[in-house]
Structure 1
Amino acid sequence: MIPVTILTGFLGSGKTTLLKRVLNEQHGMKIAVIENEFGEENIDNEILVQDSQEQIIQMSNGCICCTIRGDLARVLGDLAQQKRDGKLDFDRVVIETTGLANPGPVAQTFFMDNEIAGEFLLDAIITLVDAKHGNHQLDEHEVVQRQVGFADRLFVTKADLVDGKELNDLRHRLMHMNPRAQIREVNFGEADIKEVFDLRGFNLNAKLEIDPDFLAEDDHDHAHHDHDHDHAHEHADCDHDHGKCNHEGHDHGHHHHHAHHDDKIKSFVYRSDRPFDPNRLEDFLGGILQIYGERLLRYKGVLYMKGVDRKVVFQGVHQLMGSDLAAKWLPIEKKNSKMVFIGIELPQDLITDGLDACLA
């Protein structure tokens, strides 16, 4: 399987700078780059050697580059065929989307097209956010919020152009929109190759990383705040066995910094120590995906199921969900379920109450 990385981010966020560094680095990898043709800046011609074929450009360092003039699935199919025929040699693919693109349909290609799914493995979506203009872009353009919501990793660029408070506010905002994605600062495209490739964001495994700061904040009670978007997390940390939350004695002084942003894209975490009834949960999730699938960007979970001695893992993009059995619960482990949902104006109470009703 050929791993694929989707590189996304708004106009001017630094995607091409990052890509150039990756392509110029001596890592010994042969990378095929697919660029959407409205790229605001094409990859420098000085590192390109024009191939006889119109669509495909061979680079001097052994990488190849092509521009999409048609359907992504067709371009990927062509690349795979040429690799099989020995005409092209590459071991991974990077897709650079245009700054105005919603990465959702690009990601879905890898699950909906059987031929593509048989050859390529979607590794991760990396979103670049410009520290100087990020807050404004998030306010103005829903597509930027979507790019953040889909991400497995967030790279904040141009951090040297803002002060510490501004950077911290942006980090908090991003974390509340997507607590799954680790946030890294990247200056002038200087990212360690290990931060870019083999992130396994779409793997079905029992590792569900949620930013610990997000969970720490969710231990606080946000109910007394006068703005909506913290309420999205009010009961993310409840003890669902008793329907009550742990809120006592915390200092709330540091929560007001993102009060003025009411982002459409929000996230919440659901946890329970009680097992799920498998049939009820399957029916409920199926219904949620039918009704809210388009608004669900990414969701992932590790589940404790009644009558199953192994962890059940699931994850999805929009309506496309996959699940699998993972490792056995160890005797020392505390069995519990943890799920994270990232989406556009999701009815959190309805989903939380519905999940509660699926507990055995």
Structure 2
Amino acid sequence: MSVTTSPAVSQIPVTVLTGYLGAGKTTLLNRILSESHGKKYAVVINEFGELGVDNDLVIDADEEVFEMNNGCICCTVRGDLIRIVNQLVKRKGQLDGIIIETTGLADPSPVAQTFFVDEQVKTRSRLDAIVTVVDAKHLLARLADSHEAEEQVAFADVIVLNKTDLVTPEELAVVEARIRSINHAARIMPTQRAEVPIADLLDRGSFDLGRILEMEPDFLTGEDDHAHDDAVTSVSLTSDAPLDMQRFHQWIGDVLAEKGQDLLRTKGILQFKDDNERFAFQAVHMIADGDYIGPWKAGDPRQSRIVFIGRELNRPELRRGFEACATA
């Protein structure tokens, strides 16, 4: 049974963009925002740590971006989600859709419930699709150690199978078979760097309530027993002093080499000495990437921020290492 829109009510389509830490959600979101589709979207971003970094990783666009930090959208800040969506759905005719990017640790089930249990949200919006981005290289490991990763695959209407260039064809076939063992109905879109046709993702009426009720008969009651893996924590660090680029790369290389297996996600916006542009650093386990993403925005403090999400994180040790990268 697919959700349909009543012709008597103008409902804003909502896409929930989910996927485990480092799968490529923000890359896909940037592709959506940079496409020449002529539509207006509002974007809601949820981050697990107390410091926001993803908002800086989203390209400058005309879209409004709402940021929810220091809590997971599926539990501790779910009330914030309801409040923001209620504000947005009142803007009839001003928005073509709402895109919600969840933290990589979110269970999509309680997020989806929001669009059926809150009366105003239910009346003025419709859940169009749950789009899950998965990392072809690391998905099997995440399914083995993370309940959230499995839920993200199970609830997906569309699965963007990302980073296929990091695995062999034989490995990719194993990953696809594992996905199908969890979710036989979702459309799987293999890709690299989240390069998928945006028209195949948005406003397609892909959400299938009947399939969800088969998995979770109590879905529409709004009850949820979701709990996170307490072993996964975040460490957020800042520096007002510019960083020495060579020192930073040496330090972060050592951290990833030594602790990379426990580091699910590392991301930062950095100010290097004598540079006028922001440097975005990202890593998944030991695989790291970084590039300049444009000048600092007028009025924004030139402060370096980095967030580590993983297991057995040593906050004092990470703080000392990061502080040692700052210039005098």
Change (3 A) 1:25 1:113: same
2:165 corresponding residue in structure 1 = 160
SS at match of 1:183: strand
1:42 corresponding residue in structure 2 = 54
Structure 1 Cα separation of the partners of residues 208 and 151 of structure 2: 21
Change (3 A) 1:112 1:132: same
2:218 corresponding residue in structure 1 = 319
Q: Does 1:65 align with 2:70?
A: no
CA contact (8 A) 1:111 1:320 kept: no
CA contact (8 A) 1:149 1:298 kept: no
Shift of 1:319: 1.3
1:213-224 to 2 correspondence within 5 Å? Answer: none
2:84 corresponding residue in structure 1 = 75
SS at match of 1:298: helix
Partner deviation per Cα, 1:179-214 (whole Å, 9 max, x = no partner) = 010111121121101221123223579xxxxxxxxx
Partner deviation per Cα, 1:93-132 (whole Å, 9 max, x = no partner) = 0100000010111000001011100010000101111011
Letter in 1 for 2:39: M
1:178 corresponding residue in structure 2 = 183
Which of 194, 201, 221 is matched with 1:196 structurally?
201
CA contact (8 A) 2:130 2:207 kept: no
Structure 1 Cα separation of the partners of residues 122 and 102 of structure 2: 19
1:14 corresponding residue in structure 2 = 24
Instruction: List runs of 5+ in structure 1 lacking aligned partners.
Output: 49-58, 206-296, 301-315, 323-360
Shift of 1:44: 3.7
CA contact (8 A) 1:68 1:75 kept: no
SS at match of 1:200: coil
Letter in 2 for 1:148: V
1:124 corresponding residue in structure 2 = 129
Partner deviation per Cα, 1:46-93 (whole Å, 9 max, x = no partner) = 843xxxxxxxxxx3xx32111136521111112223x25x8xx32100
Letter in 2 for 1:13: A
1:29 corresponding residue in structure 2 = 39
Structure with more contact order per residue of length (Cα contacts < 8 Å, sep ≥ 6): 2
Structure 2 Cα separation of the partners of residues 124 and 26 of structure 1: 21
Structure 2 Cα separation of the partners of residues 151 and 126 of structure 1: 6
Instruction: List runs of 5+ in structure 2 lacking aligned partners.
Output: 1-10, 70-76, 222-328
Partner deviation per Cα, 1:310-358 (whole Å, 9 max, x = no partner) = xxxxxx8551469xxxxxxxxxxxxxxxxxxxxxxxxxxxxxxxxxxxx
Change (3 A) 1:194 1:100: same
Structure 1 Cα separation of the partners of residues 176 and 102 of structure 2: 23
2:212 corresponding residue in structure 1 = 298
SS at match of 1:125: strand
**Moved beyond 4 Å, runs of 4+:** none
Identity of aligned residues (%): 41
Change (3 A) 1:155 1:118: same
Q: Structure 1-normalised TM-score?
A: 0.52
Structure 1 Cα separation of the partners of residues 153 and 146 of structure 2: 11
Q: Does 1:142 align with 2:147?
A: yes
Structure 2 Cα separation of the partners of residues 46 and 37 of structure 1: 13
Structure 1 Cα separation of the partners of residues 54 and 220 of structure 2: 35
Structure 2 Cα separation of the partners of residues 106 and 17 of structure 1: 21
Structure 2 Cα separation of the partners of residues 97 and 191 of structure 1: 19
CA contact (8 A) 2:55 2:67 kept: no
Structure 1 Cα separation of the partners of residues 209 and 154 of structure 2: 19
1:133 corresponding residue in structure 2 = 138
Letter in 2 for 1:154: I
SS at match of 1:38: coil
CA contact (8 A) 1:30 1:90 kept: yes
Structure 2 Cα separation of the partners of residues 204 and 146 of structure 1: 15
CA contact (8 A) 1:30 1:91 kept: yes
Change (3 A) 1:187 1:103: same
Letter in 2 for 1:201: S
Structure 2 Cα separation of the partners of residues 78 and 25 of structure 1: 25
CA contact (8 A) 1:6 1:94 kept: yes
CA RMSD of aligned residues (A): 2.4
